[in-house]
A = this chain, B = another copy of it.
Amino acid sequence: MKKLYLKDIAKNLNVSTTAVSLVLNNKGDENKISQDTQQKILEYAKRHNYVANSLARGLSRGKSETIGLIIPNISDDHYAKIAGHIERKAKEYGYVVMYASSNKDPKNEAKLIQSMINRQVDGLILASTQHNSEDIELLKDNKLPFVLIDRLYPEIDTNYVVVDNFEGVQKATKHLLNLGRRKIGFVTLKPGLEAMRQRLLGYQEALKEFNIDPSDALVKELSNVDYKDEIKEALGELVRFPNSVDSIIFSTHYLTSLGLRELRRLNIKVPHEVAIVSFDELGAFDLVDPPITSIKQPGADIGDFSVDILMDEIQGNESGINKTRMLKPSLIIRKSCGAL
């Protein structure tokens, strides 16, 4: 089967390439191509299974019908879920998505953005994690439509879809406080990650509302690279005198997994001795012993909304659609917090 090109079909049908192109792009009517010709072309194309080379089309129209997705790590539950929804939604618009993982490295991130730009993506969804605005400049310079997820820059005007990290943790912390817990530890990652900062603030705010002084000793900020090792020591310190926490909030699902393993190793009863709450979930958290109380992010909405917004930007619609979304996470109460 030899490849069939636009000009082949024009030649074989004795019409111009213009006609063929127009008809195949559904512009036959508005350009008053006769019904006869249209039928002929359409049929021929269908019968021979013609499809345009989208590189050529893209080059010609200045549009690739591709969007880029840059996230810390596609293998992570949270991002994988979002990626799934982004793809499904993008497909509705006839778009396909290219993804790339930044591994939380800002340098990497900048490179990836540049790479996406070269590849002429029509828009970008960026789950940048570092609070670093160079990449944003890059995008603005290139006039590339984009939507931020997982992060927002209050000081810059951007489109974004984020979850309310602050409120999520605040609610969870208050939940623990209402259950009578008073020495609440907070295990998180070092700042840089804006989302992490918000989560910490939510924790501190809740404590203040209960007139408890947030103690630095109860907050453990782990390095983004060595957290697997550091968490052991951190937990050791939290459960030992003089800290002796009665509960711990982990700021992300993988810290929860790691933490729970370590608590077991230390032979600490959850939730009896130490209650725990996780920000974000892993697939089997409801089956864990004990089932993990979690702050759940609306992954589907994050994906869907970000694509909707992006498409709106790409199409240049000044439609009424909101270009920013602050979504609410929900607290799923299970046994690990000591409530049930």
Contact = CB atoms under 8 A, between A and B. Distances in A.
Interface of A: 1, 51-56, 58-59, 64, 66, 73-77, 79-81, 83-85, 87-88, 91, 96-101, 114-115, 117-120, 141-142, 253-254, 257, 260-261, 282-290
B58 A55 contact: yes
A8 B94 CA distance: 33
Contact of A120 (B53, B83, B101): B53
Contact of A80 (B58, B77, B114): B77
Contacts of A101: 84, 87-88
A74 B59 contact: no
Contacts of A51: 114, 117-118
Contacts of A99: 83, 87, 97, 99
A261 B287 contact: yes
Nearest to A120: B55
A287 B253 CA distance: 13
A80 to B, nearest CB: 3
Given A54-B118, A74-B74, A84-B73, A98 B100 contact: no
Given A53-B118, A96-B100, A96-B119, 18 more contacts: A1-B141, A1-B142, A53-B120, A55-B59, A55-B119, A56-B59, A75-B84, A77-B80, A80-B83, A91-B100, A96-B115, A257-B284, A260-B287, A282-B284, A284-B287, A284-B288, A287-B288, A288-B289
A25 to B, nearest CB: 14
Contacts of A114: 51
Nearest to A64: B55
B88 A83 contact: no
17 contacts: A51-B117, A54-B118, A55-B55, A59-B59, A66-B98, A73-B84, A74-B74, A74-B80, A74-B83, A75-B81, A75-B85, A76-B80, A79-B80, A84-B101, A96-B115, A98-B98, A284-B288
Contacts of A261: 286-287
The 4 A-B pairs at the shortest CB distance, nearest first, are namely: A289-B289, A75-B84, A80-B80, A284-B284
B87 A83 contact: no
Nearest to A63: B55
Contacts of A290: 289
Contacts of A87: 74, 99-101
A283 B258 CA distance: 11
A117 B3 CA distance: 11
A77 to B, nearest CB: 6
A282 B55 CA distance: 39
A67 to B, nearest CB: 10
Given A64-B55, A87-B101, A287 B289 contact: yes
A335 B261 CA distance: 15
Contacts of A141: 1
Of the candidates A55, A98, A119, the one having the most CB atoms from chain B within 10 angstroms of its own CB is: A55
